[in-house]
Amino acid sequence: MDENAEKSREEVALITGSRRGIGLGIARQLAREGFRIVLNSTSPVDAAVQALDDVNALREDCLYIQGDISNRRDREKLVSQIRERCGRLDILVNNAGVAPTVREDILVASEESFDRLININLKGPYFLTQNIANWMIDQKRTDPKIHPKIINVSSMSAYTASPSRGEYCVSKAGVSMMTALYAARLAEYGIGVYEVRPGIIETDMTAGVKEHYDELIAQGLTPIRRWGVPDDIGRAVAAIARDSFLFSTGEVFNVDGGFHLRIL
Condensed to tens digits (0 to 9), the pLDDT of residues 177-217 reads 999 999 999 999 999 999 999 999 998 878 788 888 999 99
> What is the band of 148 on the pLDDT scale with cuts at 50, 70, 90?
very high
Predicted structure pTM score: 0.94
- CATH 3.40.50.720 fits domain 3-255: yes
Q: What is the pLDDT of residue 264?
A: 79
DSSP track, the chain: --HHHHHTTT-EEEESS-SSHHHHHHHHHHHHTT-EEEEEESS-GGGGHHHHHHHHTTSS--EEEE--TTSHHHHHHHHHHHHHHHS---EEEE------SS---TTT--HHHHHHHHIIIIIHHHHHHHHHHHHHHHHHHH-TT---EEEEE--GGGTS--GGGHHHHHHHHHHHHHHHHHHHHHGGGT-EEEEEEE-SB-SGGGGGGHHHHHHHHHTTSSSS-S-B-HHHHHHHHHHHHTTTTTT--S-EEEESTTTTS---
C-alpha to C-alpha distance for 26 and 30, rounded to whole angstroms: 6
Q: What is the pLDDT of residue 204?
A: 81
Whole-number Cα distances in Å, 203 to 23, 91, 200, 259: 10, 23, 9, 18
**pLDDT tens digits, residue range 212-236?**
899 999 999 999 999 999 999 999 9
Q: What integer pLDDT is reported at residue 8 of this predicted model?
A: 41
Going from N- to C-terminal start, the domains of the chain cover 3-255
Task: For residue range 6-59, list pLDDT tens digits in order.
Answer: 444 489 999 999 999 999 999 999 999 999 999 999 999 999 999 999 999 999
